[in-house]
Structure 1
Amino acid sequence: MNRPVTTLYVALFSLLLVPTSLLALGGLADYKQPDEPRVLDGSLAKSVERHYDEHFPLKQVGINLWAALEYLAFGEGRAGLVIGQDGWLYSDEEFDPVAGGQRQLRDNLELIRGVQQRLAQQDVHLLLAIVPAKSRLYPEHAGAHRPSALQRSLYPRFHRAVRDAGIAAPDLLGPLQAGKQQAPMFLRTDTHWTPQGAEVAARALSEVVRSAVPLRGEPQEFVTEPLETRAHQGDLTRFLPLGPLFEGLLPSADSLQLRQTHAVGDGGDALFAEADLPVALVGTSYSANPAWNFAGALRQHLQRDLANHAEEGGGPLVPMLKYLQSEELKNNPPQLVIWEFPERYLPMGNDLSEFDPQWLAALRGGEQRTLAAASR
């Protein structure tokens, strides 16, 4: 940013900040001190700060004004967002280099190999569903933004590493690229795929399963029915705090057609009552959120019911590690585990503090050299 633009940026901010700050001083007039104010441990300062924050006049207006200035003048949102063209928004996790990414990539690949070995000990097959990044599938809407070298190499490196380790991982990028000619595969304002994209991925995965793993039980017919179509403001719009004052500046909402899958002739709740399920699904919000109907699409194309152990908000590793320690896997293992794993999570660190460090070390210790070497 050159000097004149920087000067204008600071001046505009000051013009916005000074009057609202003066008004905020009036909010301190009704401040009541704690019964036992303590200065040395910072409790008094925290009390004043909390009161100031709660009674800051025009707080939302200030947030909206500043967000609108950044968006209109500089094409930027809050940290975490990349603003593309034509109303497309992306997560910066798909573009920015990751501190310690190479080391974390190797650590995560070691865990993936350890997961496969633990499942194999119980005669459970692992199928890895590597979800391509939105920016990989739709680079044409990213404008001048380009992923870092690490991000560009992630998808092929991921596939090469797991293939060399003997882990099945069908290519989902090709089917999704073909599918986007007929329907949107990802949402413009969201990090996630559409129900159509989830259905394309489910069909591709099911074709591999049918040729590799004869699932127990009789095939069961599932049908997917369209529900209402609704406007959907994606999760990435949270990084553009323009509402309510400038809500009209937000990219137009996505059109999301909800779907629901059920067994033919089933009464409803009985669909999930069967205990001996041949397939388990583990993963992230791509699988856990019913709005995308990924689990339902898998049921339809596999012609089998499944247990869904995916979780939102924790990445792909935490729900899998929980599943490895579950009583369900111990007492009633499935034939197949489908692990949905978005590629952007591979070089990212994970909070695994809830798991025993020795157990994690043992999990990584199996054949870690195979994947570590393949990842280079």
Structure 2
Amino acid sequence: MSKTAQNIYVASFIGVLTLGFISSMSGVLDYKQPNTYSVLDGNLAKSFEDHYDKELPLKDIGTNVWAALDFVLFNEGRLGVKIGADGWLYSDEEFKPDPTGTHNLSDNLNTIEGVRNELAKHNIKLVMAIVPAKARLYPEHIGNNHASPIHADLYQQFHKAMDREGIMAPDLLATLEAAKPRGQLFLRTDTHWTPFGADIAAKRLSAAVTHNFVLPGDPQEYVTSTEKTESYHGDLTRFIPVDPLFKTLMPPPDDLQKRSTVAASQTEGADALFAESNIAVALVGTSYSANPNWNFEGALREHLQRDVGNYAEDGRGPVLPMLGYLQSDDFKNNPPQVVIWEFPERYFPMPNDLSEFDQDWVARLKNQGNEQNLALTGNR
């Protein structure tokens, strides 16, 4: 920014603080002491504090101002977001280095191997759905941001590891890149893919599953319909807290056209109670799978022509939902034939807090993977 523009912004900031101070003084004068409170106890101070917070949101004003200054002067948001170009926002997890990343890669690989081996004991096949980073699929909008060395070829490393360990992992990056001319695959202001991107990935995964495995039961037709387009402020906008004072500074919202998928028999008025109770395919993963806004679960149903049990969870990464699923009654009593594990690449070098699980069981699971890795290394 020019010196003049900087001076204007500093003056504006001082003006906002002055207005806030004037407002606070009027709020102080408006305060009336409740008759039920004594000056000698702490309730009077608490009463005044509650009144001040309610009537005089000076803290919110300060947050808006500082966020606006960071955004305009330095092109920065709060921890959690990277500001790209052309109104694009990215999760900072796709860029920041992790000093323990190399160890975490090995640990997560052991976990994946252990899960594969645990599923194999029940004759269940594992298919990895490695979701490429948004920055990898849309590098043209990252601006001045640069990924750390551990992220440079992370997707390729992940795929090579799966290939080395004999785990099926269709190349979603190549599939999504080929579809870029046909529509937007990731939301500009959100971490996640669009319903179109989710559909492209689901179609590729379904083709791999049906080509390599014979799923039980008869194919069932599913129908996907589109709903009206909505204005959508993505999850990454929360890390730019300029609303409401400087709302116009925000990147424009995305246009989100939601989709929904139902069995064709339901559209014809058939009784859904007679549908098959056995689930051939289970889906486990993150909010890419759990959030109905993207309709990834529905897209898999449509392209697989089978019902899908969804055990993905929001806000817990890919590993915790999988370990929870392996210990669930659904897994024990109604095991599927195939498990699709949706695993965003950025989680591959990240640690996991597994303290909620039995540590002996976790150690045995990881050891299965470690033993498999050692065996494969010894055979080279």
Q: TM-score, normalised by structure 2?
A: 0.86
Question: By how many angstroms is 1:49 displaced?
Answer: 8.4
> Of 315, 323, 343, which aligns to 1:313?
315
Cα pair 1:106 1:371 within 8 Å, conserved: no
Match of 2:183 in 1: 183
Match of 2:74 in 1: 74
Match of 2:227 in 1: 227
The one-letter code matched in structure 2 to 1:364 is K
SS of equivalent to 2:181: coil
Match of 1:114 in 2: 114
- Partner Cα separation in structure 1 for residue 64 and residue 274 of structure 2: 45
The one-letter code matched in structure 2 to 1:70 is D
- Could you list the runs of 4 or more consecutive aligned residues of structure 1 that deviate by over 3 angstroms after TM superposition? 6-37, 45-57, 271-274, 369-374
Question: By how many angstroms is 1:269 displaced?
Answer: 8.3
When structure 1 is superposed on structure 2, of 83-92 and 47-56 the one drifting more is 47-56
- Partner Cα separation in structure 2 for residue 340 and residue 269 of structure 1: 31
Pairing of 1:132-151 with structure 2 (within 5 A): 132-151=132-151
- Partner Cα separation in structure 2 for residue 345 and residue 280 of structure 1: 21
- Partner Cα separation in structure 1 for residue 274 and residue 240 of structure 2: 39
Match of 1:365 in 2: 367
Match of 1:300 in 2: 302
SS of equivalent to 2:313: coil
Cα pair 1:283 1:309 within 8 Å, conserved: yes
- Partner Cα separation in structure 2 for residue 268 and residue 56 of structure 1: 58
1:43-99 per-position Cα deviation (integer Å, ceiling 9, x unaligned) = xx9999888766654222221111111111111111111000000000100001013
SS of equivalent to 2:202: helix
Structure 1 residues 159 and 371 mapped into 2: Cα distance closer, same or farther (>3 Å)? farther
Pairing of 1:323-342 with structure 2 (within 5 A): 323-342=325-344
- Partner Cα separation in structure 2 for residue 186 and residue 14 of structure 1: 39
Question: By how many angstroms is 1:339 displaced?
Answer: 0.5
Aligned-CA RMSD value: 3.1
Pairing of 1:89-238 with structure 2 (within 5 A): 89-238=89-238
- Partner Cα separation in structure 1 for residue 38 and residue 11 of structure 2: 35
> Of 335, 342, 345, which aligns to 1:343?
345
Unmatched runs of 5 consecutive residues or more in structure 1: 1-5, 38-44
- Partner Cα separation in structure 2 for residue 128 and residue 256 of structure 1: 27
Q: TM-score, normalised by structure 1?
A: 0.87
Aligned residues: percent identity? 54
Larger Rg: 2
- Partner Cα separation in structure 2 for residue 268 and residue 345 of structure 1: 42
SS of equivalent to 2:182: coil
1:318-340 per-position Cα deviation (integer Å, ceiling 9, x unaligned) = 11111000111111111000010
Pairing of 1:7-18 with structure 2 (within 5 A): none
Structure 1 residues 304 and 82 mapped into 2: Cα distance closer, same or farther (>3 Å)? same
Question: By how many angstroms is 1:160 displaced?
Answer: 1.0
Match of 1:250 in 2: 250
Structure 1 residues 10 and 334 mapped into 2: Cα distance closer, same or farther (>3 Å)? same
Match of 1:41 in 2: none
1:280-335 per-position Cα deviation (integer Å, ceiling 9, x unaligned) = 01111100111101011111111111111111110111111110001111111110
The one-letter code matched in structure 2 to 1:265 is S
Match of 1:3 in 2: none
The one-letter code matched in structure 1 to 2:146 is R
Cα pair 1:310 1:319 within 8 Å, conserved: yes
The one-letter code matched in structure 1 to 2:324 is K
Question: By how many angstroms is 1:230 displaced?
Answer: 0.6
SS of equivalent to 2:365: helix
- Partner Cα separation in structure 2 for residue 137 and residue 82 of structure 1: 15
Question: By how many angstroms is 1:175 displaced?
Answer: 0.7
Cα pair 1:229 1:257 within 8 Å, conserved: yes
- Partner Cα separation in structure 1 for residue 39 and residue 138 of structure 2: 55
- Partner Cα separation in structure 2 for residue 24 and residue 325 of structure 1: 55
- Partner Cα separation in structure 2 for residue 50 and residue 81 of structure 1: 32
